[in-house]
Structure 1
Amino acid sequence: MSAPVQTALVGYGYAGKTFHAPLIRAATGLELTTVVSSRPAEVHADLPGVTVCDFETALADPVIELMVVATPNDLHAPQAIAALKAGKHVVIDKPFALTTAEAEAVIAAAKAANRLATVFHNRRWDGDFLTVKHLIETGALGEISLFISRFDRFRPALRNRWREQALPGSGLWYDLGAHLVDQAICLFGTPDAITLDLAQQREGSVVDDYFHATLFYGARRVRLQASALTPAPGPRFEIHGRLGSYVKYGLDTQEEGLKAGQPVGGEGWGTDRDGVLTPVSGADPLPPLAQPTLPGRYPAFYKGMAQAIHGTGPLPVPAEEALSVMRLLDLGRRSAETGRTLAL
């Protein structure tokens, strides 16, 4: 059996602490040995026994094979490229980078170093998304005409964090938009065109806290939406096809489980409420049915990463797929700036 991959987590903010640290520690084939952070007391309180150091020290450690970059978005590409040049494999928290050009530079650095680079698009393993994917792939809904994916929250108060400051890569589009765009591409591929509307709706906000994107796939429309001012959230998914509709309320439960310290992959992990399936018979909708939600599987990402490094499986998210997401984030931003629908 292969020795565990010695892993360094770069950044111990919300993403590093809540998502990456517990998922890495739960993954067979990985060992979290090092955290790059300016808050060693907090790290040691949570993770006794790990080494806390600065980025350059972690880069120079020959034992570390994998570096997970969970720092502010403007550091993703430069830190990933530095890690790859130092001979490390790399996981980058979403978004991949600030621009398509930066993402392409990361991929080039990975190829030059003969190392693996991937992006933490963990919401591919949301239970409700896995359910949606199954319904579409099995043809249960028929040809999809309208796909709506929402990420609604009610957070009226501004918070003192980099995501809400006027910094490169801040705002909801690069945060939640990265997830929703990735899911849409997983289901339908690259769209023909995109229209994006961005807004700063909260008083004093300096970054987009609302977006509404329309992706065009021939006659099919895919609408992606997120807001920080929605007291009564709409459905997380609303999908309409020739053979039926599927509606699901509520966000995937795994993030709340991680925040609460629930054992990763333990009993009840990733369970969620049912959705509603309304099938069609001929020209008539039938009575709605409860559609069980498949269990969420966030642990699959780092299990897949360990297998990829050991040469026993593919990358959980190929870098070229993450690059497609980055291209659409870039193009969406230009659409919002120009007020035009832009073709890919």
Structure 2
Amino acid sequence: MTGTEGEPRTIRTAVVGYGLAGSVFHAPLLATNASYSLDAVATSDAGRQAAASSRLPGVEVVRDGAAVLERAADLDLVVLATPPMTHYPLAKAALEAGLDVVVDKPFAVTSAQGQELVDLARQLGRVLTVFHNRRWDGDFLTLQKLLAVQGVGEVTRFESSFERWSPTIGKAWKARATAADGGGTLFDLGSHLIDQAIQLFGPATVLHAELTARRSDERADDDVFLVLRHHSGVVSHLAMNMLCAQQGPRFRVLGSIGGFTKHGVDPQEPYIAAGGSPLDAEYGVEAAEWAGLLGRDGHLDPLPTERGNYPEFYRLLAEKILDGGAESPLPLPVDPKDAVEVLKIIEAAHELG
């Protein structure tokens, strides 16, 4: 880490992959956090190389993860924003090169791979975390706050969905990827929904799974419905659909004294994609008309949405690394063991579906 005596240290960072995850999530969050210096971006795509050079002046643009690892001595942290099948080998190589590692979701393509990475990081004394960023969606933060004060009473059912109208597959690797490669919406959107459900209601088992491929070029799944039973007694219904012409609620929570229904999707991703900055006053702020409704039919009140806060992930990570890394008692933004549990649910769903 750079920084002379008396000056703040900065975490020298490289982002591997500059598609949606690298360009919209990781690079903007890192570039606007003074605890990090974004030193390198890796992408083999010529168009993305040009975009990275234009948007990130002074950042070295290299071809791939191997080129980043050749510079390991001049780095502290590597962020993997690459297709899922590359996560395990790249994360393993980065840890063995002495780097701390952020892995985008899904953590790996099997829970065994994920657990091996967790064990390796512990053995090597490196920081390892997984970018389950939707723990900082505004609607999810709102729901967490509501449940903390038992705003709907005892929860009996939790419904959560990510539904999109995407009749064609826009990315070449997604069109090629099978479930064994980490392809499909269960690995993609499902990783978020499962993680959120477990964060809210604790460990769970899969009671029912429907996995369907409706698009002609889909090699894994693009329409998924899961039923989870949490050890706490709550039942979660999770739906992911890439061919949905009319979207339902993002969340519906039913409880003993009321319910909460929320439509719409967190605005942070489209805001950055449109050229906004995480430092803008409007960043993460949802329009008032998208507020969820709390109560019972006939007695519904709007519940304003909390401000979304993806930058919190990298703030917490910087605190951990700068406080001593793996030896620090400070928490990780996401414990990678949580991501292993998500993969176990995905594996169980594949077996049932």
Output the TM-score relative to the length of structure 2: 0.90
Of 178, 181, 185, 1:172 maps to 185
Tell me, yes or no, if the aligned pair for 1:28 and 1:306 is still in contact at 8 Å. no
- Specify the SS of the correspondent of 2:74: coil
Partner of 2:212: 199
2:284 paired with 1:278: no
Q: Distance in 1 between matches of 2:273 and 2:171?
A: 19
Return the offset for 1:278: 1.1
Return the offset for 1:293: 0.6
2:47 paired with 1:47: no
Of 21, 27, 33, 1:27 maps to 33
Partner of 1:60: 70
Q: Which residues of structure 2 form unaligned runs of 5+?
A: 1-6
Q: Distance in 1 between matches of 2:66 and 2:170?
A: 30
2:134 paired with 1:123: yes
Partner of 1:267: 281
Q: Distance in 1 between matches of 2:350 and 2:165?
A: 24
Amino acid in structure 2 at the alignment position of 1:3: R
Aligned ranges 1:198-217 → 2 under 5 Å = 198-217=211-230
Aligned ranges 1:97-108 → 2 under 5 Å = 97-108=108-119
2:324 paired with 1:307: no
Tell me, yes or no, if the aligned pair for 1:11 and 1:69 is still in contact at 8 Å. yes
Return the offset for 1:160: 4.2
Q: How many residues align?
A: 331
Q: Distance in 2 between matches of 1:286 and 1:136?
A: 21
Runs of 4+ in 1 over 3 A off after TM superposition: none
Tell me, yes or no, if the aligned pair for 2:101 and 2:128 is still in contact at 8 Å. yes
Of 219, 224, 229, 2:243 maps to 229
Q: Could you report, residue by residue, the CA deviation over 1:317-337 in whole angstroms, capped at 9, with x for unpaired residues?
A: 01111211121112211121x
2:15 paired with 1:14: no
Q: Distance in 1 between matches of 2:219 and 2:124?
A: 39
Q: Distance in 2 between matches of 1:176 and 1:96?
A: 13
- Specify the SS of the correspondent of 2:313: helix
Partner of 2:101: 90
- Specify the SS of the correspondent of 2:237: strand
Tell me, yes or no, if the aligned pair for 2:206 and 2:226 is still in contact at 8 Å. no
Partner of 1:155: 166
**RMSD, aligned CA:** 1.5
- Specify the SS of the correspondent of 1:106: helix
Return the offset for 1:255: 0.7
Q: Could you report, residue by residue, the CA deviation over 1:223-277 in whole angstroms, capped at 9, with x for unpaired residues?
A: 0001112121000001100011000100010111111111113212111221100
Tell me, yes or no, if the aligned pair for 1:164 and 1:207 is still in contact at 8 Å. no
Q: Could you report, residue by residue, the CA deviation over 1:40-70 in whole angstroms, capped at 9, with x for unpaired residues?
A: 3332122121112242332132120000011
Partner of 2:346: 329
- Specify the SS of the correspondent of 1:159: coil
Return the offset for 1:194: 3.5
Q: Distance in 1 between matches of 2:206 and 2:238?
A: 13
Amino acid in structure 2 at the alignment position of 1:14: L
Q: Distance in 1 between matches of 2:167 and 2:123?
A: 46
Return the offset for 1:77: 0.8
Q: Percentage identity across aligned positions?
A: 37
Tell me, yes or no, if the aligned pair for 1:93 and 1:121 is still in contact at 8 Å. yes
Q: Could you report, residue by residue, the CA deviation over 1:86-144 in whole angstroms, capped at 9, with x for unpaired residues?
A: 00000000000000110011112111210000000000000000011111111111111
Q: Which moved more, 1:124-133 or 1:33-42?
A: 33-42
Q: Distance in 2 between matches of 1:204 and 1:65?
A: 40
Q: Could you report, residue by residue, the CA deviation over 1:198-240 in whole angstroms, capped at 9, with x for unpaired residues?
A: 0011234322111000001365320000111212100000110
Partner of 1:340: none
